[in-house]
Structures are given as structure tokens and as C-alpha cells.
Structure 1
Amino acid sequence: MKRVLLKLSGEALAGDKGKGFDETTCGMVADQVRQLVDSGLEVGVVIGGGNFWRGAGKANMDRTRADQIGMLATVMNCIYVSEAFRNVGLATTIMTPFSVGSFTELFSKDRVNTAFRHKKVVFFAGGTGHPYFSTDTGAVLRAVEIDADGILLAKNIDGVYDSDPAIHPDARRYDTISLEQVLAKKLQVIDLSASLMCQQQKMPLYIFALKEEGSIVAAASGNFHGTIVTVD
């Protein structure tokens, strides 16, 4: 792979605290991404906002407003994590689909390609810029737009299982599964709109547990403990 998009959940970055940031986890992510960049890989990053805000289903609140707060949560996450990356010597830039003053740049593919030529890690904050779309969909959209070779999907669980392993101790983890099978079996990997976009645009997923040592570097190599979701 030459170019990848790394999707991180906000909850995973919070560690055991559940909210905010776990500095050790963020530092671990930064160290691994530095290894990828040093090896010549171009890396984009999308971070969910769940460590600050989960707006869907909020009672007595307009869904559009709730989703806008969620978009801003992802901006805060990207600002924080980009600083963790800078602390290990990486150059970064943050792009959003809407203006956030001087905090970010407006997204464009030309700006992304320029940043990659300068060996910068590009953070894509703010989701799609529209309500009713998750950061899963935003991640797939950006991956497709920047011609990524695949999406590295870091989760709290080490891949795709045939049932919930927290409920079923005998649940089986797939090493490889097609996106068509994921949809047919209704396995909750990413949301439906994101899944359909991956299927249409032939964007593979590499799913792994963030907490496992070296998991990001291993996933980028394709030789890792997790699940490859194919789109052939």
C-alpha cells in the first residue's frame, strides 16, 4: 500500500476512562504512525467524536444540532491528536469541509496531495460536514476521494465475529470476509451507507484492535491479527 486512511474511534483514544484522552494510547498511535510515514506510507486520519459527544438519539434535541456538536467534537479530537503526532516529530495538517477560522484548512484533494508530498499526516475532521452521516461514512468518503489503497479501522475489538463475543464466548473471528457477506449476515462493522460506498468504490477494510501492541503497523502490512474485509 502507498496511501491509507486510519479510522480511530474517540472511545478507543479515551482508554479505560471512557471520556477525553488517554495520553499513553495517543502516544502509542503517534509512534506507530511515525513508523508508517518513515517507511514511505502516506497517512490520512479520521477520528470519531464519541469520547466527547454521541448526539444520535438525544431526547428533546434537534438531530441537526446534535450532529453539528458531534462534528465539532471530531475537530477537537484531531487538534489534540495532531499535537501528539507533532511531539514525535511528524508534520501534520487538519482539514475540514467547513471553515473553522484559522484552526483548520478547507478540504480539497489538491491540498491533500500537496500535504502528502511534504510528508505530512492529514487529519480529516468534521465528518462530511452534513448531519445524518456518521464518521464511518466520512472516513470512507475521504478514503475514496484521496485514492487510498485501504482503510485501517482501529476498534475496541480485534476484528469481525460471527456473533457478539461479549455475549457468545464461542463466537468465531473471521480472518477474511467479503463485504457482501458482511451485509448479508448483518454484521455490524461500519454503518450501512459507509458499507455500500465501500462496496461500490472497491475500498477494502483492515479491522483490528487498537490496544494490541503494534497493531496499526501490522495492519498496514496486511499481516496482522484481525479481519480483512474484501470488496472483490
Structure 2
Amino acid sequence: MKYKYKRLLLKLSGEALMGKKKFGIDKIYINRYAEEIKKIVNIGIQVAIVIGGGNFFRGLKINFINRIYGDYMGMMSTLINSIALKSFLENLGITVILQTPMSIGQISEKYNINKSIKYLKEGNVVIFPSGIGIPYFTTDTAAIIRGLEINADIILKGTKVDGVYNIDPIIYKNKYKKIYNNISFKKAYKIGLKFMDQTAFTLGHENNIKMIIFNINKKGNLKKIVCGEKIGTIIY
């Protein structure tokens, strides 16, 4: 069977790993994501991953720590999440390599584009912790950059909702909500949709990135996208 995408970059938020908890990692949810990733790896899809760290630490929300140090602490949180997902994937028989721009030799090797692509072609999952390794850039921006560098066919952003809405469906539960089937980066930014930061919007627009934002908590959605089904919101 021919699949629509051969190589993809999956962006997971740290909050997605919390599940129904208020902090940390929910075993049920992280195992669910590992199972979904395994399904597409086993059919030959090349998978790279960027994970946020908001379930442990979000530097922007801490005003008593220097912003630069806060961002580095956030990078460490993404590393914790990456190690956890690596463990769950390896328990399912999937080989995982961590590549970080920071020097953490015991658990992760230094980021290298050529090695990343080589590992992906060999059928390994590659996880990119610590964003791009410098302050002031979010993991959304890191996902766009890494997706461009590894020449991903698509960037997928797994969330807790079904796509991009005109208002936040979690905050405004009882209000009428419109979900977009597709929308451009330029228009999304212009009308004030806040599913990514400004830098990520700009990079996506200028580099003709194709992204799908979807609900990763719905079983089978990841594989359905790979098979060409219309799931979530397409950003172009």
C-alpha cells in the first residue's frame, strides 16, 4: 500500500502527556501515544518527534527567574519528556535515538542533520529534545525548523482537540465554535488564532510548510492521516 506521507515530524505538547493530571506524565496517555507511533513506524513511515515541556516547566510563566535561565529550564523539561517517550517506545520494540543541540552525552547524542536522516531511513524514531538549544524560541518553532532540516513531508501537531477553532474549545466549552478544515498560516495569524507563536507562523508561511493539527487522543488518527484520510485542520 502506498501511503501519503513517507517522513513526518510529529509535534507533541508537554500538556498532552499530562492526560487528566495537572502536572507530570500520565502513564495511560504516554503509552497511548507510543502505541499510535508504533503503528505507523511498523508500516515503514519515518518518524521524528519534538516534544514540549509545559507539563513540568514553562519559563514564560515564571517571573522570578531570569528569562534566559527559565528557557533553559524549559529545555530540560522537554528532555525529561523525550526520555520518557523513548522508554515507552523501546518497551514496544521501537529503536529510538535522542538528538539534542545541547551536550548531554549520557542519554542523548549531539544533533546532526545527516545522522538524523540516516537514522530515519534505517527505521528508527528520532526525538529532538531541548528545542533548538537557545532561549526565546518555542518548541513549535523548533518543530518547524527540524521539519525543514530533515525534509519532512508533513508536520503533524498532536493536540487534545480536533483541530483549529475560531475560539479555544477547552476554555469556551459552552459557546458556539467553528472548526477550520484548512487555513493558511498568513490568515490564521492575521485573525489572531493562537495555536503557535509568531516565529513559527512566519517560518511556516515563508517556507510553504504543510501542517496538520489533529486530536492525537483519538485512537487511530495518526495512521488515518498517513493513509490520506482528512483528519484535523490543514495549515498551509
Q: Same fold (TM over 0.5)?
A: yes
2:29 maps to 25
1:189 and 1:222, CA in 2 relative to 1: closer, same or farther beyond 3 A? farther
Task: Report the number of matched residues.
Answer: 230
Q: Does the CA-based 8 Å contact 1:97-1:126 persist in structure 2?
A: yes
Q: Where does structure 1 lack aligned partners over 5 or more consecutive residues? A: none
Quick one: distance in 1 between partners of 2:135 and 2:20?
Answer: 29
- Name which of 106, 111, 114 aligns with 1:102: 106
Quick one: distance in 1 between partners of 2:182 and 2:130?
Answer: 31
Quick one: distance in 2 between partners of 1:146 and 1:27?
Answer: 26
1:201 maps to 207
SS in 2 for 1:139: helix
- Name which of 114, 118, 125 aligns with 2:118: 114
2:197 maps to 191
Quick one: distance in 1 between partners of 2:46 and 2:203?
Answer: 22
More divergent stretch after superposition (212-221 vs 114-123): 212-221
**What is the deviation of 1:210?**
2.0
- Name which of 161, 166, 184 aligns with 2:165: 161
Quick one: distance in 1 between partners of 2:42 and 2:64?
Answer: 48
SS in 2 for 1:29: helix
**What is the deviation of 1:60?**
2.0
Amino acid at match of 1:181: K
2:216 maps to 210
TM-score normalised according to structure 2 size? 0.93
Quick one: distance in 2 between partners of 1:43 and 1:13?
Answer: 18
Quick one: distance in 2 between partners of 1:224 and 1:119?
Answer: 26
Quick one: distance in 1 between partners of 2:112 and 2:131?
Answer: 14
Please report the RMSD computed on the Cα atoms of aligned residues, expressed in angstroms.
Answer: 1.3
Quick one: distance in 2 between partners of 1:185 and 1:212?
Answer: 28
Quick one: distance in 2 between partners of 1:87 and 1:224?
Answer: 31
Quick one: distance in 1 between partners of 2:144 and 2:97?
Answer: 19
1:181 maps to 187
Quick one: distance in 2 between partners of 1:164 and 1:120?
Answer: 35
Question: 1:213-232 residue pairs with structure 2 within 5 A?
Answer: 213-230=219-236
What do the CA deviations read for 1:170-214 (whole angstroms, capped 9, x no partner)? 111011112221122111121110111111111111111122121
Q: Where does structure 2 lack aligned partners over 5 or more consecutive residues? A: none
Question: 1:60-71 residue pairs with structure 2 within 5 A?
Answer: 60-71=64-75
- Name which of 18, 30, 47 aligns with 1:43: 47
Quick one: distance in 1 between partners of 2:193 and 2:71?
Answer: 25
1:143 maps to 147
**What is the deviation of 1:162?**
1.6
Amino acid at match of 2:128: F
1:124 and 1:18, CA in 2 relative to 1: closer, same or farther beyond 3 A? same
More divergent stretch after superposition (161-170 vs 135-144): 161-170
Quick one: distance in 1 between partners of 2:160 and 2:77?
Answer: 19
1:131 maps to 135
SS in 1 for 2:186: helix
SS in 2 for 1:26: helix
